[in-house]
Structure formats: C-alpha cells, structure tokens
Structure 1
C-alpha cells in the first residue's frame, strides 16, 4: 500500500511537470483513458495554466529534461515506440538532447580512485575538465602514464565516468515506471497489445547495461571485431587496464565531426562517398552482424584525415537475431523488387502476423504502402519511413509489437538523416542494394544452403554424441514417473506401461530412444489434461 502511494506521488509530480510544459496537448485526444485519469490530467493542466504563460520552454522534450536522467532515457526509448506515444510525440522525443550540467572534476577523480583502485595521478599525467555531460555519464580528456611496459609512450584518451548516485536514482524511477505499466494494463485491456511491461523491462535492461561501462567496452570490442575488414569505418581502441564498471577509457578520436560540413569540404572529403559509407555501414552491422550502434547521430560520428568514419559512444546498442535479420533483408529486398507477396510470406514465416490472417490480403496492404513510396524519385525514398508505415499497417493484422525492429527503424531514421545532410540526392535503394544483395546471396543462395546443411549436420552430430546422456535422463524420468504413479500422481494406463517395459527389453538402444520419446509425449498429454 505504502509503495503504491509512493509511486503514485512520483507519477503525479511527473504529470504536473508535463502539464506545466503543456506537454499533453488537448485532453480530448485521451478519450480512451478512464474518467479518473482524464480528470487528473485536466486538473494538472488547470493548475499549471498560470505557470505555463510564464514559460518559454514548452513541450514534451523540455518537460522530460526537467524531470531528470531517468525520464530522459525513457524519452529516448519512447522515441523508438511511435506505437505507444504516437508519431508526433515520437518525432519530438527524437530531438531530445541528452545533456545535463556536469559534475565536478574532483568527483570524477574520486570515481576513478574508487573504480580503478589507484590514484588518478599514477594513471594519467593530465586530466581535464569535462568535455561532454549526459544523463548517465560524462567524458574527460586525459593523457596516460605508461606503466608495466604496456605502452611505449603516453596516449591521449577519453575517460567516461558514471554520475555519482545515478544507480539509486534510476532504480527508484524504474520502479515507478513498472508501477505505471502494470496500472495501464489493468485499467485499459487494449494496452496489452503494446506490451508496456515488456517495454519498461527492455528500457530497464538497456539502462542496466549502460550503467556498467565494461559492457560498453565489450560492445566496442565486439564491433571492432565485426568491422575489422570493413573499409571506411572503425571504432576507437579500448584501454582495458583503465576500465571498470564505472570508468571507461578509450582512444581519444582526433577527427572532424561529421556534422561540420564546411570543414569536411575544406579538407577535400568526398561527401557523397561518406554518405554511402554511413548508410552501408549501418545496414551491414544490422543485417550481416545483427549488432548495430543505435545512437548514430552526427555528434557520435567523426571523420579521420584519410576519410574513415569513426563512431563513438556505444552505450545504446541494438541486436537482431537471425530471424529478424532475414526478415529485414527480405522485406527490404521484396519492396525493392515490388514482390509484395514474398514480403507478406516473410511476415507469416517469421510468425509476426497470426496464421488466421490472409497472406493475400496482407500483400494487398503492403502494396498500398510500397507503390506510393517507390513511385517517387529515388532521392525522396526513405527506407525508415517505409518500415514505419509497415509497422503501423500491421496493427490492422494483429501483429504484435517487435521492440527490436522499432529500435532499428528509429535508428534508421537518424542514419538516413545523417546521410542526407552529406548528400541530399542520396538514392537509398541504390546505396543499400549491394548490402542487401550480398546478404540474400550469402544466406538464401547456394552458399547459404551449404552453410545451413553444415549446421544441421553439426547439430545431428551433437545429438548422436549426447545420446548416452539422453538415455540416462530418459531412465531417470521413467523412475520418476513410476514413483509419481505409485503416489497417486500422474497415471499412465497399466497396459501401456507394461507394453513399454516389454518393448524396452526386446529392442536395442535406438528403439528404446523412440519409445521413451513416445512415453514423454504421453506424459505431456497427461499434464495438459490435468491443467
């Protein structure tokens, strides 16, 4: 009870701040909410009317910034979920800037002392003031002191440090978010399709990873391995000896920000080639590797003197399983070739659209999305917009929300925007074509079939190798079932068990395996009937 009251008060405070910034918009749009919720929102708007007239920083993004670090992360997450907040709010949240006042240099040095177990002046000969401060951490430029023969000369590095006390703040706010999600599901059954609890859990998991800087270091290392042979793209080196849960040290990137177009032109860089590299790199990471940088805005991308793009800040990453990667590649390829029936089939094969829907009718809906977009000039076509409309239309066919695909689509919006600032005439399909073709040929062509066959053979080999253990487990299961039957638990027909025993005595190990699988199937049927 007290916990519910505490969460309610926290959420009421948040609502007042949102209302003070006029972040709700007209209350008429919330007609589906319970009457009590509408009344509370109306009261909040009325109470804040005087304060609102005095404010210049109106809007959802401004309100979330005032609410603090946890809500900034929530806002960034909801920017990837237009299905929850609506397209207009998602666009506004996408402009949310994760910037907060820095904490002091002395606090940063104390975190280094605690996190690395050494005095800062034994690790760094220079340690500057913060150069960037966000909701979870801030970054300092420093210079290393060579130690234990690991280095032959000092290096300039970027030192990222978590905000003091940030874990406790996030823990309290996330508890309130879970409370709100459970409440929403209880009072509004239609909300279930949007999976708010699952959404909050995804946010919580993301934040937990982001607050362990060793995980970010591992993400950098993984992407470095994935892209080692990719021309035109790289990531900074990680200094593992100066990295811990609350401190991350990486190579300092001395390069030109990708957003500084005039500087890039002055240095003689090919902007069209850079645009292609940005787009193709993102698609390779997502489709080929299933692991992509989910915050690829201009502030996180730099250009080396040799024209190589260097990405930084790997706190937010996206992962796609093989099913999602195949889904993404095939639907983009299907739209490119206007094969709407194949795109429809891919949705059903992936299990995203329920089997009771019509593939032909779904293909018709896909055509309604694709034709208006694909008939535009090449430089007007947006893959991100295509995916956004696709996910919107699938609601009509009871497709469950796929958060990982929404994160991908929202990241693609940012990446397309970055690429088009470099080349406004960018032909998205022409640029993406080589990456998609390579994936389709590698995965669905002869090479992919051979790879699948090899994996199947390996799986069969593992099964054969594990047969003795499997038989042992089967025998244990038999004894367990016998004991349960004696105690009045699950009952198998006496004749059936006698025949199984007799058959076991007559046949070899292969037949015994088949019989035990049959027995276990009978147990599964019995369990279903019991429950």
Structure 2
C-alpha cells in the first residue's frame, strides 16, 4: 500500500513540475533538441519561482517544507528564486478535530482528564501540526498536535524525492550535483526532526535556559507530563505579531529597541550558546507591551560547532572593521564562498552589503552595475553550504528582514559591534592579533641581533680566503638530462652532416648513403627532443593553462 501511494505521488509530483522542467530544458536548448541557449530574464525567473511556490503549496506539507528549505540554499537556486521562496508560508487548512483528538489522546490520555478546558478550534495551523488553546490549573497553555496521518504522507514524499533526485542530477549541471545530494539528505533529516516534538521540547528548554537571566526575551516553558513525540504542551505567551508595526506604535513600543534586542538574542545564540532558533519569520515572533520579544515554534532549530562559532566572530569583527578581505577569507574558510570566485567583484559586493547593513543610502545605478556581476560570481561558482551554515544563513537573512520592518534605518553592524565589545569578543580578536604580531616582532628582533655576529664571521673567512660555497641543484624535472641529450644529438648531427658531405665528395655513394641515413636518424632524435618536453621548465605555465582551460570549460558548460 505504501509503495502504491509513493508511485501515485511520484506521478502527481512529476505532473506538477513538468512545465518547469520543460522551461529549464528550453533554456539550455531553445527548441529542446537543438538551438542555442535561451536568454532568461529576471522577470521570467520571478514568474517561474511564483509558479514553483504554487506547485509546492498544491503538493502539500512535505513540499512546502522543501520550498522553505530551498529558500535557505543560494548554492542550489538563483537569487530570484530564493527571494520568492523566502515568502513561502504554510497555507494548509486545519485537520478535523476528531482526527486531531485521536493523536492527542494517544499521547497524553483523555482530553478531559489531561486538561481543565480545551478549545477545539485551532489558533494556528501549519503543514506538520496545529496549535490549540487549553487550561491547566488555571494557567493558559498552547497544545501543539502533529497533523493526523502526516507520517505516511511524508515517508511517501521522501521516497518520491529520492526517486526524482537522479533525474534532477541528470538535467542539472555538475557544479550543483554536490549541493543537491546534500540537500536531499538534509531535507530528510530536517523534516523528521521537525515532526519529533520530544526533540523540539529539548531544544526549547535548552534555549530557554540560556536566556533565563534576560528579562527582554520570553520563551514558553514545557509541560513535560502532557507532552510526547506527537504532542507538545507549552506555556501560552501572548503578544503582538512582530511585523504589526501599527499596533506596536499604538501601544507605545520602541521598535528600534525591539530590533536591537532581537539581533542581540540571535548573536548570543549563534556566537555564544551554539544552539539557536532557526525559523524567525514574523509568525514565530511576538512583542509584549513592555518590549519583550517572544519566541514560538522551535521545531526548526540547530546547532553550530566551535569552529563555525569562531568564524562567525571573525566575520562580525571584520564587518565591524569594514575589512572586506578578512570577510572574504572567512567566507572561503566556512565554505560559503568558492576560492575561485572573483575577489574584486566580491569586494564590491561586500562593500555594498556593509553600506546596506549600516542603513546608508545606496546609489541605484551602483546596485544595477554589480547585480550582473553578483550573479556571475556567486551562481557561477556555486556555494557548498554545510547544513548548519545554511540554517545560519537563513536566520541572518530573515532576522535582517524583520529588523528592517521594525526600523528601516537599523544599523546591523553597530549593534553587532556593541555586542562583541560588551562580550569581549572584539578585544579577544585584537589581543590574538597583537600576540601574533608580538611573536613575529620578537623573532625579527632576535634575528637582527644575530645577523651582525654571523656577518662578521663570514667576512673574516672571506678575508682569509677560507670561504667555500656549495651549491646543490635539484633537477626533479630532468631539465639538465634533456639539455645534455640535446647537446649530444647536436654534436652527433653536426659530425654526421660533415661526414656525409666529406664522403659524398671523396668516397662512393654507398658509404655516403649509410652516413646520410645515420645522420637523418640523429637529426630526427634532435628534433624530437626539442618538441616533446612539455613538462619540466614549462610545467608551471602548462599547469596554469590547464587551470584556465578548466575554468573556461566550467563556464562554457552552463
């Protein structure tokens, strides 16, 4: 039965995506089987991205989540698609209460025994679950229940994604093969984690503990005794949706302060705690009347290891110092930017990004000037993002959008710099740099003290005619052997030509023919020795040409 369902889903999914596949193939061959490439405009990409969103919504929960994950992967899709997919939200009608009740009671027992009161109308619906309000001992709680029957549908859809992957890899270029394969693995892991409410409860409690001393951040507590793998009961925290700026203004909330609090919270999660809430869209963030930021829905959450945390600190410090070279170095070390990317172009991009992050006005013509360059660098040399780094990128992008909604002139770099200074990260980086320079300076000073004595001893030996120089020449490429061989061939050829001429003048034709034949053999050997060595002294130039040709082939293959 499961296999039949998967086969049917494969047909449905293939039919939904068929127009996009045909369009993509026509981009590569104007008339499918022949013709040159078709030029794709930004407007065409936007229209296709919007069609993709509608297809994902039609296909249901699994593919909605796939679209949300794709919105975090600029290494897989062009920027236009990423921008449109970022707006993708769950738009799935709630399940019937009778079906949801079966799931709830299977986890926590009869509803009337587990809760004092239970509102059967869901207050929030999503692709994988829906939320209800209830009461326990006079306290209002939020009860998150996994959508009934979602498990077999997700498993069938994951199987379909696996079946489709070879086809996608066949039509996609080689540069994106790695990213697509890792994306499939990541998607399977992410959606299963998001359906596991026991994991979500553990992540929620850990992050809540990290902010226990911060009165400006509110995270709901978990009722463990009324939670399970498919049900999560939490403290109900009310607030105004963070993007509802009109209501925030009406209630006298300082929106700039809220934006600062939100960014500082995510900086703490990323660079200090190593565990973070990874889905900060406005539906999961609220603001209370005193400016406290409330976090909801920890189903999508992640961790960063010590290496990534250290690099993120370096990135923020470099951004604060407006050191674009250091920023690019960090991105390369993180794997977020190909070492082959044009650093000159990326420097322009980083300068523009810093200017934008500071809330400064950007000249429109400059943006238009480098947009083409950006697409030719980032998408031409695709990113290969680790899954945790892709989540970090998503968080940074979405938080930026939320903060700009709160305060259009918000300065991300100033806020990041203040946080780093307060926590001592900036001083640590500066201290480490000074220590490195100090060590190098001490070594240089020691060398300067030793050089005069060594120089004096050497000059004394020169004065006594007691200085000997030994030179060892390495010939790993056989250059000297080839030169000796060519010289030998040249000497023999010259002797052969002279002998042949002499015999032709003073001896018979038979001897002349033998000498001439041997001379031709020697000349052929000399000519061959002059032509064949493409290695050796010219190996560096040849390697450079091979690298350049490889790069051209990669560009031409797209």
TM over 0.5: yes
Cα 1:323–1:229 change in 2 (3 A) is same
| 1:98 CA displacement | 0.8
1:168-215 per-position Cα deviation (integer Å, ceiling 9, x unaligned) = 111111111122223433565605554322111111111111111111
Show the counterpart of 2:134. Answer: 142
Which of the numbers 153, 157, 162 marks the counterpart of 2:146? 162
1:369-384 matches, within 5 Å, as: 369-375=349-355, 378-380=358-360
Show the counterpart of 1:467. Answer: none
How many Å separate the matches in 1 of 2:53 and 2:276? 26
Which of the numbers 400, 403, 412 marks the counterpart of 1:416? 400
Is 2:103 the counterpart of 1:132? Answer: no
Which of the numbers 165, 180, 187 marks the counterpart of 1:196? 180
Show the counterpart of 1:471. Answer: none
| 1:78 CA displacement | 0.7
Cα 1:282–1:306 change in 2 (3 A) is same
| 1:287 CA displacement | 1.9
Cα 1:6–1:323 change in 2 (3 A) is same
Q: Secondary structure at the match of 1:92?
A: helix
Is 2:101 the counterpart of 1:121? Answer: no
Which of the numbers 238, 243, 255 marks the counterpart of 1:271? 255
Q: CA RMSD in A?
A: 3.6
1:37-76 matches, within 5 Å, as: 59-76=51-68
Cα 1:113–1:371 change in 2 (3 A) is closer
Show the counterpart of 1:17. Answer: 16
Cα 1:7–1:104 change in 2 (3 A) is closer
Show the counterpart of 1:341. Answer: 325
Give the stretch that moved more between structures: 390-399 or 238-247: 390-399
1:125-274 matches, within 5 Å, as: 125-128=116-119, 129-144=121-136, 153-185=137-169, 188=172, 190-191=174-175, 193-274=177-258
How many Å separate the matches in 2 of 1:93 and 1:275? 24
Which of the numbers 288, 292, 302 marks the counterpart of 1:308? 292
How many Å separate the matches in 2 of 1:353 and 1:60? 27
How many Å separate the matches in 1 of 2:228 and 2:357? 50
Cα 1:264–1:295 change in 2 (3 A) is same
Show the counterpart of 1:107. Answer: 99
1:378-397 matches, within 5 Å, as: 378-380=358-360, 393=377
1:496-515 matches, within 5 Å, as: none
| 1:379 CA displacement | 1.3
Show the counterpart of 1:80. Answer: 72
How many Å separate the matches in 1 of 2:357 and 2:288? 33
How many Å separate the matches in 1 of 2:125 and 2:356? 42
How many Å separate the matches in 1 of 2:316 and 2:375? 13
Cα 1:208–1:381 change in 2 (3 A) is farther
| 1:399 CA displacement | 5.6
Q: How many residues align?
A: 410
- Contact kept in structure 1, 2:317 and 2:426, CA below 8 Å: no
1:137-164 per-position Cα deviation (integer Å, ceiling 9, x unaligned) = 00100112xxxxxxxx421100000111
Which of the numbers 285, 310, 314 marks the counterpart of 1:326? 310
How many Å separate the matches in 1 of 2:24 and 2:335? 37
How many Å separate the matches in 1 of 2:278 and 2:180? 21
Q: Secondary structure at the match of 2:298?
A: coil
How many Å separate the matches in 1 of 2:424 and 2:184? 33
How many Å separate the matches in 1 of 2:161 and 2:389? 22
How many Å separate the matches in 2 of 1:161 and 1:410? 26
- Contact kept in structure 2, 1:344 and 1:362, CA below 8 Å: no
1:445-456 matches, within 5 Å, as: none
| 1:127 CA displacement | 1.0
1:95-141 per-position Cα deviation (integer Å, ceiling 9, x unaligned) = 1111211112222222121112x211111121111111111000100
- Contact kept in structure 1, 2:175 and 2:382, CA below 8 Å: no
How many Å separate the matches in 1 of 2:190 and 2:31? 31
Cα 1:342–1:260 change in 2 (3 A) is closer
| 1:322 CA displacement | 1.6
Cα 1:215–1:6 change in 2 (3 A) is closer
| 1:58 CA displacement | 6.7
Q: Which TM-score applies when normalising by structure 2?
A: 0.65
Show the counterpart of 1:292. Answer: 276
| 1:82 CA displacement | 2.6
Cα 1:236–1:179 change in 2 (3 A) is same
| 1:66 CA displacement | 0.8
| 1:333 CA displacement | 2.3
Q: Which TM-score applies when normalising by structure 1?
A: 0.68
Q: Secondary structure at the match of 2:76?
A: helix
Show the counterpart of 1:462. Answer: none
User: Structure 1: which 5+ runs fail to align?
Assistant: 39-56, 145-152, 451-531
Q: Secondary structure at the match of 1:177?
A: helix
Q: Secondary structure at the match of 2:414?
A: helix
Show the counterpart of 1:463. Answer: none
Which of the numbers 422, 425, 428 marks the counterpart of 1:440? 425
Q: Secondary structure at the match of 2:220?
A: coil
| 1:329 CA displacement | 2.5
How many Å separate the matches in 2 of 1:420 and 1:284? 20
Q: Secondary structure at the match of 1:408?
A: helix
- Contact kept in structure 2, 1:442 and 1:448, CA below 8 Å: no
Structure with larger Rg: 2
How many Å separate the matches in 1 of 2:336 and 2:353? 23
Show the counterpart of 2:446. Answer: none
How many Å separate the matches in 2 of 1:217 and 1:448? 41
- Contact kept in structure 2, 1:292 and 1:318, CA below 8 Å: yes
| 1:414 CA displacement | 1.6
How many Å separate the matches in 2 of 1:89 and 1:192? 15
